[in-house]
Structure formats: structure tokens, C-alpha cells
Structure 1
Amino acid sequence: MAFLWILFFILIFIFNICTPLISDDFDYMSQARSGNSLWDLILQEYNQYMTWNGRSVTFILYRIFLCAPEIILKFANSIVYMILSMLIYFNIDNKKKYDVTVFVLVQLGLWIFGVRFPQTILWECGAFVYLWGMTIILGFLSAVRYLVSNNRKESVLSCALIFLFGWAAGWCNENTSGGALLLLIITAVCIYLTEKKVSRIIISAIAGNVIGLGFLVLGPGVRSRASSIEELHSGLYGIVARVQKLTLLNEEAFLILLIIFAATIIWSLYYHNKKGDNVKQILFALRYRIIFFVVYLATVYALAATAVPQIRALFGAGIFLLIACIQGIVDNLRLDNDGKTDSTKQMLSFLYGSVIAAMSIYLFFQIIDCGAMLIRIRRDYDERIAYIEQQIAAGETDIVVAQFHEDFDNAYTCAYEMELTDDPEYWINVQYKNFFGVNSITAIPYDEWEENYSN
């Protein structure tokens, strides 16, 4: 398993290095590097909190890392990705001590089914909002789970620390932080029903999470940003339209995972029904995956409370669903067995093994192909930056650069979705212009640029 951890870290680090800085990265880097101290960065974030965005915990981290060399930023992002994968692994019950199968399932799930992987994990601005935010949230939930399940001493210090951790987790991402709160409430109810009391750890965690979520959703900038979004419908019709759009986004992002989850449920129901278990016993056996599935649904449809965002906002919901799916597979293979080796159970092991093998082969070819394309995109990007700096040194203030080669587009980049255009007033062109301090930057197709400007 250590070998696999190193292998996937190397892969994600390479993909991070080969992902250029994109659109908002330039804008925020300009802001961050104009500051002279940490206090300046805090003031910048306070201004954003008051005017545009309430996700202050992740954005202050983003500003800090933008002040460091790019390689440090890429390395830190890769480490956080691996931490998230280990947190998902930690939240799977009934696994072996060093369970290679579960770890591989986690990696396959993230690389293949991670919602908008290029935008939520590789693009720096998106990574801090979604990858780093979800890592903080799931880290908080995992800490609570560890303290409660291991009956750790409920000292004042541990309650205070979990309260602060909950505050940070609540201040990360609107719908995902809300999903974390729902999971805590469900946990508290389950503990109360069985033990007739709730630990101070859970109470402290809920209190911190509620306060952090309050700072997030009640921020002036959130209201300002929401009011700037126009929708065709309002009132009840608007809510119905949002639910419909979210359902379509849900289908686009999670159809295969939902099929996998349903298959694990059907198999477990078949097994427990054959065993003669009653409804209470069945629900108890399926409780972990059902809880994470309920939290996933709530995290998706909580977005109906506001204007429907881009699909990447479902990233956190996808992590909850991924945990539910992997838990279902592990339960099918480990619990729904009784130690027997009849042909039906052998067939199930063969089926799951074949699916895992097929996904691994698919990912292998995707990584090879897309990795090569990312390296070429990075070369285009480095040439672009070098050319801009060369032109600035020569005294040019209206600069024409080459767009990325169209043939290099692939499933693991969002560079083409946020690319420079031939309009110098386009918002991404303006971000480049402001970053480099020139009058204008325009981009044209690579072949045309090479013919007219490369020399």
C-alpha cells in the first residue's frame, strides 16, 4: 500500500506541475503579491468577504500559498489530494488493516468520477475552494468520528479544539459544510437513541460547525454575489427550475456511481432477505452507506436554495456518494459472505474484481494519454509567459500571444475552458493584462501566431 501511495502521489504531482496557472489564479496572485505581510492578505480577504465571497478559510490559505514559488503551491496541492484520499479510506468500515482494494477504489473513484477533476483538483483557485475545502470538512468529520468511536477522554482542550476545527469546516463551502452539519446531527441522534446521551465532543463539533456555517452564508459578499445572478423564474417556479437543473447535473456527474450504489443495496437486500433478517437488522447492516447517501442527496439539493451554480459545486456531494459506494462494495465482499464460498459469492467477487481491473486499465491509458497532452500544454504555457516577458523587456505594451494548441485538449485540463481570446477586453485577457501590467494582451490561434509573431 505504501508503494501505491507513492505512485499516486507522483502522478497527481506531475499532473499538478503540468497544469498552468489559469484565469483567476493571475488575479489572486496579483492581489497576494501586492501585500507586504500576512495582515495585508487578511485585509484583502476581508474585503472579498464584504463584497463578493464568504469562503474565507480556503481563500486565505490560497492567498498565502500564492506568495510562495509555484512549485511549493503544486506540491502542497498534491499533498492535500493524498490527505483527502486517505480520509476517504479512513471513513470506510470493515476494511482490512492495510486494504489495498479499498485504497485502489478510492483512487479510481477520485480520478474517474471526481466532479470536474481539472477544475476542482488541478486548477489552483478551484482546488482551494473544493479540494482543500472538502479536505478540511472531511478531516473534521473524521476527527469527530475517531474521538467518539474510540471513547477518547472529553477534556476541555479536546472540546475546544474540535469546536475550532468545526468552525473552520463550517466556513469552507456552503452546501458541503451544511452536509457535514447534517452528518453530525444524524450521528448525535443515533448516539442518543442507543446511549440516551450525547458526548460533549459531538455538541462542541455541532456548535463550531453551526457558527462557521453562519459566518459563511451570512457574509455580505455572499448576498452581493447572489443578487448579481439573474434567473428566468422566481418564487415556486424558480425553485422547481433549480431542482430540475440540479437533477440533470446530478445525472451528468453521478449516474455511474448511483448505479453502483444501487447494485450494492440490491445485493445486500437479497443477502439479508435470504438470511431471514427483519427490517431493523437490515437497516442496521446498511446504516453507514445509507447515512452517507442521505448526506450526499442533501448536499446536492441544498443548492436549490440559491441560483444553480456550475457543476463543480457538486464536488463535495460526490465525495459523500463515493464513500457510500465503496462502503457498499466492501460490505458486499466482506460482510455479505458468512465465510462461505458458494458459486454465487464467487461470482460476486469475480464481478467486482473484473470491474476494478477494467477501471484500472481505463485509468492507465487515460493517464498516459492525458499526461502527455498536459506536458505539451505546459510547454505552450511556458512559451507564452516567456514571450510576454520578452515583449515587456523590449518595451511592448500591446502584446499578441498564441493560444494553446487545440489538439492538446484532454479530460484532465480546464485550460481551454478559461483560455485567452482575440478580444483584449475579455475578462481573462484583462486578468493577464493586469497581472503583467501592460495595455492589452490578445491571443490568436497558434499557427497564425507562429507565422506572424514567433520571430
Structure 2
Amino acid sequence: MDKVVEFIKKNKVKVAGALIMIAAFVILLIINLHVDYTSDDFRYRFIYDTPGNPLPTTKKISSFWDVIISMINHWKLCNGRVVAHGLLQMVMPFGKLFFRIFNSLVYVSLGFLIYKHSVYGKKSNLSLLVLVYIGMWFFLPQFGLSVMWASGAANYLWCAAIMLSFMLPYRMYAANGADSVKDSWKSAVLMGLFGLFAGCTNENTGGGVVLICTLFILFYKIKGFKIPKWSWIGVITAVCGVVLLLAAPGNYRIDSKASFAEILIRFKDVIAKTETLAFWLFVIIAVVLILALLDKSRHTKLGINWLVPLIYFVGSVAMISVLAFAAMRPERTWFTAIVLLIVIAGWLYSEIKFSDVKPYIITASKLGLTAVFTIVFLISFNKELSAVKSTYDQIKPGLEAIEQAVENGENEVEIPLVTPSDSKYDPYNGALYAGDSPTLWVNAWMEKYYGIEKITGVK
């Protein structure tokens, strides 16, 4: 016991940081436990062999090789997001509880990655770590569809974590040069592999990753750093990932061609949605930027380090701007761009020192700010969890009816139709669930998933 106490005393900051992440994990797991599969989730439990209803030959994923075959078919028939859906298909065979735990871990990991991108090369900042998770809760777009919905989480939450993981060595090298990341062939091979994955994530984000990493290499050149081989190899393979993603024959089932006038209209829509999604985040960035500029104790007022948040900003703007060329622009496609804006806010917050002010005033101010936002978060979480639970309470009887029918060997089952809440944290608010027609594609895939011949939704 004494050794534990001594360890905690010596590693207070690390222990506190771990407790913050554990709390974030528990919070997300609680809400995850009140969400079930819906929409495409049932489809991705099987080898992808048709864009329509399941075929008599469609079979469940049972091996890694099945995932490879499935993603080759997916690339040909649906789209090139083989990294997201391939990872989803590797996770789903382990069951719903495993998915919920894994998803919660990825969420915590994304928050930690945002934090590391913000503070790397600086002192630990526990208040920032708390604020990052609170910022994710409030600002991540369509939270239910991008974090809670299994298929959406794979496409947005998990892919964002992959991209920030890939970009972290670039950020580390920008802070400490060769002292942070060794320029070895092992590093080059690993970065080459992750670059391929990061580039092949989403249509509007892969190119943004390439741009950000390229700008970091230019940053190294400006600072006089040696350009490590892993940095340009990572960019090259990320470009290959983007090409793999965009070249998928399945992409062409959706026609995104438009006239110049139509693109202008789309661009106006992109600006309007960006304002809706990120207005308060831009306000926060402006406030912390002003505070950082007013901080007379800093010595890099307009120094080269200001290029770091600028790199993330350019990448975010690029990821948003290209959406004007997309036929469909759901809010969740802003996910990674918003994540980069949170990184910028975090970077600016971590730059505020005010060393000429008494330390206890700064500490008290940070604690007070963190406490206020934590209270606001807890109020919001309690409200939104109630909304998600209200939908889950409608779904649960149907799940129990299906499980009972399977146990009794019955071929048909009726389940209650669902009226989801209007909460952005509710995945059923946007993702299609079972309807009153057994021929509906969602019903068809649910039937295949549970091994029931007919599932009908009833009022």
C-alpha cells in the first residue's frame, strides 16, 4: 500500500490524467450501452457481396480473409472506404459488448490524441485534457451518427483517430526535431503503412491529411530541420491511399458532377453548415487567441511556432471546402475538420502562461473554468442520456422479442416501430431502423443477421 501511495505522489499528473480518461471512457460506455445496431450495421456483419438486399449465398464474416474478400467487393460495388468498413467488420464478430467497449476506447484515444497534438513539447495541462473531452461532447457533429452508430463511428470516430495517430509524429518532430522521432527505416515502413490507411479514410479527409503532412515538411525546411525519410514516405503512401479511395468503381454510382453555378450554391451551403456547426468553437478560438496575444510573458509572439496551428487550420479549411464538390454533405462529414479546430483551440489555450501573474491566480482561474464547463457538461449529459434511453426503451422490447423467437425456433416476429428522440446524440435520429414492411432493406438485413425469415415493425 505504501508503494502505491508513493507511486501516486511521484506521478500525480500521470495518475490524474489516467483518471480523467477513465472517466471519459465510463461516460461514453454508459451511453453506448443504451444503443444497439441499426441501419447498415447489420449488413457489415456479412461478407459484402451486394449493394441491395442479402443474397441466399451471403454469409457472415468468420475470418480475416473474409474481411479482405468483403472489402474488395465493397471497393467495386459501394465505395472506397475499405479502411473504415474493414476495421468495422473485424470488430463486429466479437459481439455487441466488445464493440461498445472498443468504441469507447477509441473515443478516449481520440481525445488523448487531440490533447497531444495541442500540448506536445509543452508542460502537461490537465485542465486542457478535461476541456478537450468536453469540447468533443459539444462540438463533434451529429454525435449519435458519428460516434454512437457503429457504421458511423467506424467512418468518422475511428478514422479520425487513425489520421491523428498518423500525423502525431509530424507534430512531434516539429516540436523537438530528431530528438522526438528517429529517422530509421523501421519508422519509414511504419509511417508508410499508416499513411496508406490515413489517406484511405474519407473522401474529404484523406487529401487534407496529405496537405497537413506536406505543410509540416515545409515547416521543417523553414526551421532548418533535416527532412526525415519517414515524413515524405508517409506523404507518398497517404497519396496512394487517397487514390485507392477515390478510384473505387463503386464511387461512380453517385454522380457528383455539377456546373460552376451549382458548385457555388453548394459552397454557400458548406459555409452555412460550417457556421452552424462551429460558430461557438470559432468564438472560443478567437478568445484564447486574444488571450495568448495579450500574454506579455511569452517570447514567441509572432514566432515560427505560430505556423503550427496555422497548419491545422489550413487542413481543416481544405477538408471543409472540398465538400462543395460532393453531391451529399451530411453534417458528420465535418467531423475531422472540427477535430482539427479543437486541436487549434487546445494549442492556443496551452500557450497562455501569464508568468507575470501570481501562479495561484492562474491555477484558480483554470480550475474555475474547468469546473464551470464540467458542470455544464454533466447537465447536458444527463439530459441527452435520458433522450437516448427513451429511444432504447422502445427498441429493447423488439430485441427481446427477436431473441425469444430465435430461442423458440420461430420464423416470424413483430417488433415495435420506433419514434426516436430529436437529440443529436441519438443514432436512431437519422439512421434508419426497421419499418412496417418486411421487404424494407433494413428489415431484410436484420432478418439475415438474426436468422429470422420475417421481421415486421408494428405500431
TM-score range, shorter chain: 0.7 to 0.9
Contact 2:111 2:133 (C-alpha < 8 Å) held by counterparts: yes
Contact 1:261 1:324 (C-alpha < 8 Å) held by counterparts: yes
Give the whole-Å Cα distance in 2 for the aligned partners of 1:263 and 1:68. Answer: 45
Which residue of 339, 346, 356 corresponds with 1:339?
A: 356
Query: 1:52 Cα deviation (Å)?
Result: 1.0
Q: Secondary structure at the match of 2:182?
A: coil
Q: Is residue 2:7 matched to residue 1:15?
A: no
Query: 1:198 Cα deviation (Å)?
Result: 2.2
Which residue of 250, 267, 288 corresponds with 1:264?
A: 288
Query: 1:248 Cα deviation (Å)?
Result: 1.5
Which residue of 327, 334, 341 corresponds with 1:321?
A: 341
Q: Which moved more, 1:386-395 or 1:197-206?
A: 386-395
Q: Which amino acid aligns with 1:240?
A: L
Q: Secondary structure at the match of 1:282?
A: coil
TM-score, structure 1 normalization: 0.85
Contact 2:78 2:250 (C-alpha < 8 Å) held by counterparts: yes
Q: Which amino acid aligns with 1:205?
A: G
Q: Secondary structure at the match of 2:329?
A: coil
Contact 2:71 2:86 (C-alpha < 8 Å) held by counterparts: yes
Q: Which amino acid aligns with 1:325?
A: A
Which residue pairs with 1:246 in the alignment? 270
Give the whole-Å Cα distance in 1 for the aligned partners of 2:357 and 2:159. Answer: 43
Q: Calculate the aligned-residue CA RMSD, in Å.
A: 2.9
Which residue pairs with 1:85 in the alignment? 111
Give the whole-Å Cα distance in 2 for the aligned partners of 1:377 and 1:100. Answer: 35
Tell me, which stretches of 5 or more residues in structure 2 are unaligned?
A: 1-15, 49-58
Q: Is residue 2:438 matched to residue 1:431?
A: no
Which residue pairs with 2:304 in the alignment? 284
Query: 1:153 Cα deviation (Å)?
Result: 3.0
Contact 1:58 1:133 (C-alpha < 8 Å) held by counterparts: yes
Give the whole-Å Cα distance in 2 for the aligned partners of 1:302 and 1:405. Answer: 34
Which residue pairs with 1:453 in the alignment? none
Q: Secondary structure at the match of 1:441?
A: strand
Query: 1:137 Cα deviation (Å)?
Result: 0.7
Query: 1:8 Cα deviation (Å)?
Result: 1.2
Which residue pairs with 2:53 in the alignment? none
Which residue pairs with 1:28 in the alignment? 44
Which residue of 374, 383, 386 corresponds with 1:369?
A: 383
Which residue pairs with 2:88 in the alignment? 62
Q: Which amino acid aligns with 1:441?
A: I
Query: 1:97 Cα deviation (Å)?
Result: 4.2
Q: Secondary structure at the match of 2:42?
A: helix
Query: 1:202 Cα deviation (Å)?
Result: 1.5
Contact 2:170 2:216 (C-alpha < 8 Å) held by counterparts: no
Query: 1:212 Cα deviation (Å)?
Result: 1.3
The alpha-carbon distance between structure 1 residues 286 and 352, as it changes in their structure 2 partners (threshold 3 A), is farther
Which residue pairs with 2:182 in the alignment? 153
Give the percent of matched residue pairs that are identical in Structure 1 and Structure 2: 24
Q: Is residue 2:204 matched to residue 1:175?
A: yes
Give the whole-Å Cα distance in 2 for the aligned partners of 1:76 and 1:11. Answer: 14
Query: 1:375 Cα deviation (Å)?
Result: 4.1
Q: Which amino acid aligns with 1:300?
A: I
Q: Secondary structure at the match of 2:94?
A: coil
Query: 1:416 Cα deviation (Å)?
Result: 3.6
Q: Is residue 2:404 matched to residue 1:390?
A: yes
Query: 1:285 Cα deviation (Å)?
Result: 5.2
Query: Aligned residues, how many?
Result: 429
Which residue of 411, 415, 427 corresponds with 2:428?
A: 415
Query: 1:205 Cα deviation (Å)?
Result: 1.5
Matches within 5 A, 1:204-223: 204-223=233-252
Tell me, which stretches of 5 or more residues in structure 1 are unaligned?
A: 446-455
Q: Which moved more, 1:127-136 or 1:373-382?
A: 373-382
The alpha-carbon distance between structure 1 residues 223 and 405, as it changes in their structure 2 partners (threshold 3 A), is closer
Query: 1:305 Cα deviation (Å)?
Result: 2.7
Which residue pairs with 2:162 in the alignment? 136
Contact 1:95 1:102 (C-alpha < 8 Å) held by counterparts: no
Q: Which amino acid aligns with 1:263?
A: V
Give the whole-Å Cα distance in 2 for the aligned partners of 1:405 and 1:212. Answer: 40
Q: Which moved more, 1:86-95 or 1:143-152?
A: 143-152
Q: Which amino acid aligns with 2:331?
A: I
Which residue of 166, 179, 182 corresponds with 2:195?
A: 166
Query: 1:424 Cα deviation (Å)?
Result: 3.8
Which residue pairs with 1:359 in the alignment? 373
Contact 2:44 2:85 (C-alpha < 8 Å) held by counterparts: no
Query: 1:217 Cα deviation (Å)?
Result: 1.4
Contact 2:127 2:366 (C-alpha < 8 Å) held by counterparts: no
Q: Secondary structure at the match of 2:434?
A: coil
Contact 2:395 2:416 (C-alpha < 8 Å) held by counterparts: no
Give the whole-Å Cα distance in 1 for the aligned partners of 2:409 and 2:188. Answer: 60
Deviations 1:43-93 (A, max 9, x none): 111001011110111211111111112111111111111111111111113
